[in-house]
A and B are shown apart, each in its own frame.
Chain A
Amino acid sequence: MSSGFATSRFSRGLILTCVVLAILAAVAPVALPTLVKQMTVFWVMVIIAYTWDTMGGQLGYNSFGNVVFFGAGMYASAVLQIAPFTDMAAYTAAGEQGGALVLTNAQYFAGLLPGLLVAAGVGFLLALILGFAILRLRGHYFAIGTLAAGIFVAQIVANWEYLGAGSGLTMPGFPGKGAAGDQAKSTFFYYLCFGLAGVTFLFLQWLYSTRFGLAANAIRDDEDKAEAMGLPTGRYKIIAWAISGFFLGICGALYGNFVIHVDPEDVAFDGAGLGVWMVLMVVLGGKGSLWGPLIGAVLFHVTKELLWTYLLGLQYVVLGLLVIVIVVFFPEGIVGWLRQRFPNRFGERVEAGEVR
């Protein structure tokens, strides 16, 4: 697969599309105040999809373990936001009966900012360490190795009393009470998640347009050859994963603060849920493409919300079916299909009469 995207710098059309999308996203919570929560989760999905695509789409390393960085960021920010203000061990031991930690405005935001920064650092470092070990594996060994890593970390955290073990912990409450406070919280995190999604998107597109993108795609196309050409493939892979980890860490921290209740197996390290969804979104949209992860995230999120609303109880059964159908019938994704259908629009030149 040639990558016309990676080499194209920011074109006018792209900038225009971004601006339109940004304006739409910025006014969305004002226009549709009842859907702010779902839209916040949507941006979280977008971040997760794009960071998965860094490894899966650009480098060809299909990871099932990216939830590790997501969850690690969530727990890292939790510690930073709780431990300075109360006795962490006692707070987590009390669990839900203890109620959420009540902080003043100043305390809340004084905890949130370092929480997000540390979450980014933890995601980054963890990806460096994990990548150093696990990125020696390739193909399906890597896929299953990361799956195992995800379960492993989830189980360790589920046994960690200080972090609330299996029952998880409750994040400090957002300042503001009642329905208005709840709405304020959702709007606040909507803009943060949207902002992070925008930054992630722009940063990754910039990154792919540099030498890094070329190297990543060379690794995807043939790692042995790339290595033989003198590319330090190991370093590229680790850095790419660390970048995913960086954004996923912040994303996890935001999501943790947004959902309030954090627990290891269902929220933070949900390998069988989120871990598969991120793969699914990107495969659905189109791996290694500019808009694929976004399109995949939109379709997937809408489908998921509809399933949760109308097929509650069966939603995971249908999701399992969806995974099978998408992977078996649309492995190229929507963008991949469009590209085959209208190659001219993707900057690929087709000679007249050429049989494709």
Chain B
Amino acid sequence: MLENIQLLLDNPVALLNLLLDGIMIGAIFALIAYGMALVWGVMNIINLSQGEFVIFGGFIGYYTSTDWTLAIGPSASPWVSLEWGGISPLWALVIAPLILYGIGRAFYALVIFRLVDRDLFTSILATFGISIFLQQLMNGVFTAEDVIAQHGMGSWVLVDGTTGELVIEQVRVIALVFAVIVGAVLTFYLRQTRGGQAIRAVAQDARAARIMGINADQVYARTYALNAAICGAAGVLISMTLVIHAFSGLIYTVRAFMIVVIAGLGNVAGVIAAGLGLGAAEKVADIVIGTSYQTAFITGLLLVVLLWRSLRLGRQRKVLR
């Protein structure tokens, strides 16, 4: 462990590379957390099926990039097709949010609307049920293998020296840029448009909003579906940069929850900072304590964050709630 830290300190370029990598991944985490904070803030529901929506989006990314020629013949226009016959998973960034939006709407209409006024434990357990249901369904219907969406993009080698190399994968830059764009569009939507105003009004006081003529159920449905769509996009980005597995959703939920707990509800800047920080911290931890401890690191970090926050509140005789 100590020698790993020493190794990193001896190779500042490698460390920089690691941090940059982590920050670009962290942008995706921030995106997922943004969606979770949206649902939590507006509907008072902690959506534990967040990670499964992400993985679902990831599978859509994966399947767009697989060999379609077997199913529908060679792709007609060469600029969308990849060498192996699939289309670029970047197209899934459009497809996945649309599909997930529909799935979000469906889950809202079937289950979530019954949870809006219920206590948080009910919503936690019910969304955990959705999470189990979805992960098992994906495991059965899609594949139980680790998959990755092939994107055919290269990387930029900035520094190639003895103190480590600085390589930036183009796809990660795209992930970062896309996450930033989605975040910006969402912020604009929530701040400047009528639809966004309605969401914020319902978040502040659902009853008053209803009296003012806002269809709160519609707003809830839209919020939940919007969150699913965000997760879908984030999932596509993850399928291109990391690995997708049917059962790996829960850890994204934990990450998102942790980011929201660190940042607090309604703090967009905090979510971004915490997301980027988490991404970077994970990358460093991967080297220092090893990738086999990755999940332990994330869950352990969540416990530390929760305890740290509750201890700080405890000094003022308050509790985290």
In the bound complex, residues from chain B placing their C-beta under 8 Å from that of A156 are 296
Q: Is B134 an interface residue (CB 8 A)?
A: yes
Question: With A149-B303, A316-B136 in contact, is A137–B320 under 8 Å at CB?
Answer: yes
CA distance A147 to B314 in the complex (A): 22
In the bound complex, residues from chain B placing their C-beta under 8 Å from that of A317 are 133, 136-137, 140
Mostly, the A contact residues are helix
Q: Is A314 an interface residue (CB 8 A)?
A: yes
Q: Is B319 an interface residue (CB 8 A)?
A: yes
CA distance A159 to B299 in the complex (A): 15
Q: Are B133 and A140 in contact (CB under 8 A)?
A: no
Q: Are B296 and A136 in contact (CB under 8 A)?
A: no
Q: Which A residues have a C-beta under 8 Å from some C-beta of B?
A: 62, 133-134, 136-141, 143-145, 147-149, 151-152, 155-156, 159, 272, 276, 279, 283, 313-314, 316-317, 319-324, 327-328, 331
- 18 A-B pairs within 8 Å (CB atoms) are namely A62-B121, A133-B307, A136-B319, A137-B306, A141-B306, A143-B124, A144-B254, A145-B302, A145-B303, A145-B306, A151-B254, A155-B295, A159-B292, A316-B136, A317-B140, A324-B126, A324-B133, A331-B122
Q: Are B121 and A319 in contact (CB under 8 A)?
A: no
Q: Are B129 and A152 in contact (CB under 8 A)?
A: no
In the bound complex, residues from chain B placing their C-beta under 8 Å from that of A134 are 303, 306-307
CA distance A331 to B126 in the complex (A): 10
The 8 A CB mask of B293-313 against A (1 = contact, 0 = none) is: 101100110110011001100
Q: Is B46 an interface residue (CB 8 A)?
A: yes
Q: How far is the CB of B194 from chain A (nearest CB, A)?
A: 32
In the bound complex, residues from chain B placing their C-beta under 8 Å from that of A147 are 254
CA distance A151 to B137 in the complex (A): 22
Specify which of A138, A145, A328 is in contact with B111 (CB 8 Å cutoff): A328
In the bound complex, residues from chain A placing their C-beta under 8 Å from that of B295 are 151, 155
Report the interface size for chain B: residues with CB under 8 A from the other chain: 43
Question: With A149-B299, A156-B296 in contact, is A320–B118 under 8 Å at CB?
Answer: no
CA distance A321 to B110 in the complex (A): 12
In the bound complex, residues from chain B placing their C-beta under 8 Å from that of A272 are 132, 250
Q: Are A144 and B133 in contact (CB under 8 A)?
A: no
Residue of A nearest to B303 (CB): A148
CA distance A133 to B140 in the complex (A): 39
Q: How far is the CB of A52 from chain B (nearest CB, A)?
A: 13
Q: Is B128 an interface residue (CB 8 A)?
A: yes
Question: With A148-B299, A148-B303, A328-B122 in contact, is A138–B320 under 8 Å at CB?
Answer: yes
CA distance A118 to B135 in the complex (A): 37
Q: Which 7 A-B pairs have the closest CB atoms?
A: A320-B133, A323-B129, A155-B296, A320-B132, A324-B129, A316-B136, A152-B299
Q: Are B129 and A321 in contact (CB under 8 A)?
A: yes
Q: Are A323 and B132 in contact (CB under 8 A)?
A: yes
CA distance A133 to B311 in the complex (A): 10
In the bound complex, residues from chain B placing their C-beta under 8 Å from that of A314 are 140
CA distance A149 to B305 in the complex (A): 12
In the bound complex, residues from chain A placing their C-beta under 8 Å from that of B210 are none
Q: How far is the CB of A127 from chain B (nearest CB, A)?
A: 15
In the bound complex, residues from chain A placing their C-beta under 8 Å from that of B306 are 134, 137, 141, 145, 148
Q: Are B121 and A143 in contact (CB under 8 A)?
A: yes
Q: Are B300 and A328 in contact (CB under 8 A)?
A: no
In chain B, residues 96-137, which have Cβ atoms closer than 8 Å to a Cβ of chain A?
A: 111, 114-115, 118, 120-122, 124-126, 128-137
Q: Are A320 and B115 in contact (CB under 8 A)?
A: no
In the bound complex, residues from chain A placing their C-beta under 8 Å from that of B300 are 148, 152
